[in-house]
């Protein structure tokens, strides 16, 4: 699942992943991400950090609090560096950080590697 409020990032990531015959869902907000998890989504989440209302860190905190973390692998998709001390308690739930702009092949390699962990 790709979670980003920037539609161009959502569409670009979706095309890259689908081109490699991998199913992908998108969410334009943290709240939409949580709804997908409530419906039973399990897999990789590429999470933007900076989003309105509920940012990526708030979303991860809710994922953990609701017990969804055991079913997902979270990678941050970000234009920022790693989080400050305020979010240290959530870093353990993030497997990797992909900096924007990213290389398409690096993104798909990462997704494929994490899919192999889930199998």
The pLDDT tens digits for 59-87 are 999 999 999 999 899 999 887 655 566 57
Sheet of strand 26-27, all strands in order from the earlier edge strand to the far edge: 26-27, 2-3, 43-48, 72-78, 94-99
Residue 65 is predicted with a pLDDT of 96
pTM: 0.91
Give the residue-averaged pLDDT of 43-72.
Answer: 94
CATH number of the domain within which 24 lies: 3.40.50.2300
Nearest to 75 by CA among 104, 52, 107: 107
Q: Total domain count for the chain? A: 1
Residue 95: which domain range?
A: 2-118
**Average per-residue pLDDT for the chain:** 91
Axis crossing angle, helix 30-38 with helix 56-65, rounded to the nearest 10: 20
Q: What's the Cα-to-Cα distance from 78 to each of 46, 47, 66, 71, rounded to whole Å?
A: 9, 8, 24, 22
């Amino acid at each position: 699942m790709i979670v980003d409020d920037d539609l161009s990032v959502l569409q670009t990531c979706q095309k890259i992943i689908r081109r490699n015959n991998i199913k992908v869902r998108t969410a334009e907000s943290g709240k939409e991400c949580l709804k997908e998890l409530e419906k039973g989504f399990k897999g990789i989440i590429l999470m933007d950090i900076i989003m309105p209302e509920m940012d990526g860190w708030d979303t991860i905190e809710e994922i953990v609090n609701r017990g969804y973390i055991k079913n997902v692998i979270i990678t941050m998709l970000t234009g920022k560096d790693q989080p400050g001390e305020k979010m240290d308690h959530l870093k353990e739930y993030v497997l990797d950080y992909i900096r924007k702009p990213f290389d398409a092949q690096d993104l798909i390699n990462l997704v494929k590697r994490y899919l192999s962990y889930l199998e």
